[in-house]
Structure 1
């Protein structure tokens, strides 16, 4: 199971070139938002501010995952936020950046608009939040924990796909979003409920412990964790009784939700929208039982939790062609390759499209070497290394 998680993780995490494609789309949207701010004459004299946050900024973005962009138009934007949000999205649509289908959620605590970029821009899902107060600060904090805990990122990538396939990942539908899920993973590694050796947590690649940690996580939050009476505090590194903290007592509205004291704003409950937690808890328990009951002789253990379909392969291809098409017009890119256009084209070689579409035939993983990242040390005798 450890090797399957490792292969999966190195296959789905964004490569350098895919990250460049995301950055390209973000820059284009950022320019349109700045133009919109000037056109709407919002807060003249103040500098509008935008940034990436969420999984795209922390390196934990799944294929077809949402890119989170925050843009601060200033206080005047919120006075007529619904109308201004629709004007902003219409301008993005007319520019050809996004498809005509978009959703505006102006009543949320932090207003957000959901859209998808046009096919020529990669068909990438985008979430644009307006005047997000804590997003930029949270990126730095999350990166710090991910760097200190090497087991956290691969577990996060597997569990995000697990929830995505079961449609339990959308906070506005009561699901478990990336941020509260990451808090649960960090807390699990801090608490170490089954007292695993410290090397299993700090050196999972050397000790080959990712499979064991995944099963422990599913057991802990599927059967052991007391959702009704305890809350997670990552900053303290503990799971504490809800009655022990006055501010947390105010969040005691639904004993079935997971209560998480936010790492950034200590007065916020990061798990406040997890109304579907009983369903998620049941899914964790069933996944743990399935992993225990699946015979080791099976081709893939991880396939009982996560699978891929052909759409993922098409998405990788769309990013590849987007970057190739646009990069021909970027002098900074062309200068680095000089006149060697063959080297330029070869450097953007896409993922092996005939690789694993379902995690059920892991012999292909070893043959294609898709568990290795392009751009790392090449294997002897191989002109390039895929994943």
Structure 2
């Protein structure tokens, strides 16, 4: 299984040609945004920025411009993109907590999610990159994240709005699992050499044994990986006690309460 995981990661990792096509699609969309709002800054984030994306993953980009009125400005952008004839499908999601535009770039077929002035995604991507670079377990984290993302995508369990698990949460779960693993802490196993065992034990822990009702988890550059009692943070939901509770990497007051159907 370890060798199969390595082969899978190698197989789905983007080729130079695929990277070029994503960059090409990103530039086409960015050009329209900057023509419409020249004072803006357009930046990618999420799995595209951290190189944790699957071939079918969306590209997340954020427009930084304090003069924009969200979400009404997205309808102007929608009109501009349609006029430029570079999208085959486009939709403004203006009622979401963070309004976005979802679109499909016409030439490449890549899906994009566009937000505005939501800088938390940029900061989260930088923190994820730091964990991959400095934790000592970067290769194992990347491999397991990619395998689990594919596992979820094949079961339509990767869309947050429908009860799935997004990339950021998968990253925190995997990083926490590896860093908290007793055999890793005791240096009895090297994570990047035991991916098969770790994948099975990850699925066993969160699929069968984890105490979702009472316990949450998180990772931090300062504290490392940790568990916590939901009640200690006043994050216990009496109406939905089995929500998966994940603390944000950078903000200890931020809690992701996820109704993830795999864990029911």
TM norm structure 2: 0.90
Corresponding residue for 1:122? 108
Q: CA deviation at 1:11?
A: 0.8
Secondary structure, in 3 states, of the residue corresponding to 1:255?
Answer: coil
Secondary structure, in 3 states, of the residue corresponding to 2:189?
Answer: helix
Distance in 2 separating the partners of 1:251 and 1:145: 28
Distance in 1 separating the partners of 2:152 and 2:82: 30
2:183/2:189 contact within 8 Å kept: no
Corresponding residue for 1:18? 18
List, as ranges, runs of 4+ consecutive aligned residues in structure 1 with deviation greater than 2 Å.
193-202, 250-254, 264-267
The one of the two structures with greater contact order (alpha-carbon pairs below 8 A, sep at least 6) is 1
Q: CA deviation at 1:62?
A: 0.3
2:178/2:184 contact within 8 Å kept: no
Name stretches of at least 5 consecutive residues in structure 2 with no aligned partner.
none
Name stretches of at least 5 consecutive residues in structure 1 with no aligned partner.
39-46, 283-387
Distance in 1 separating the partners of 2:182 and 2:42: 40
Q: CA deviation at 1:18?
A: 1.8
Give deviations 1:92-119, integer Å, cap 9, x for gaps: 12212211x322211222211111111x
1:43-82 to 2 correspondences below 5 Å: 47-78=39-70, 81=71
Q: CA deviation at 1:176?
A: 0.4
Corresponding residue for 1:361? none
Q: Larger radius of gyration, structure 1 or 2?
A: 1
Q: CA deviation at 1:22?
A: 1.2
Tell me, yes or no, if structure 1 residue 226 matches structure 2 residue 211: yes
Tell me, yes or no, if structure 1 residue 30 matches structure 2 residue 30: yes
Q: 2:244 aligns with which of 258, 261, 268?
A: 258
Give deviations 1:33-86, integer Å, cap 9, x for gaps: 112225xxxxxxxx42221111111011101110111112325422xx2x3212
Aligned length: 257
Q: Say what the alpha-carbon RMSD is for the aligned residues.
A: 1.9
TM norm structure 1: 0.63
Distance in 1 separating the partners of 2:151 and 2:169: 15
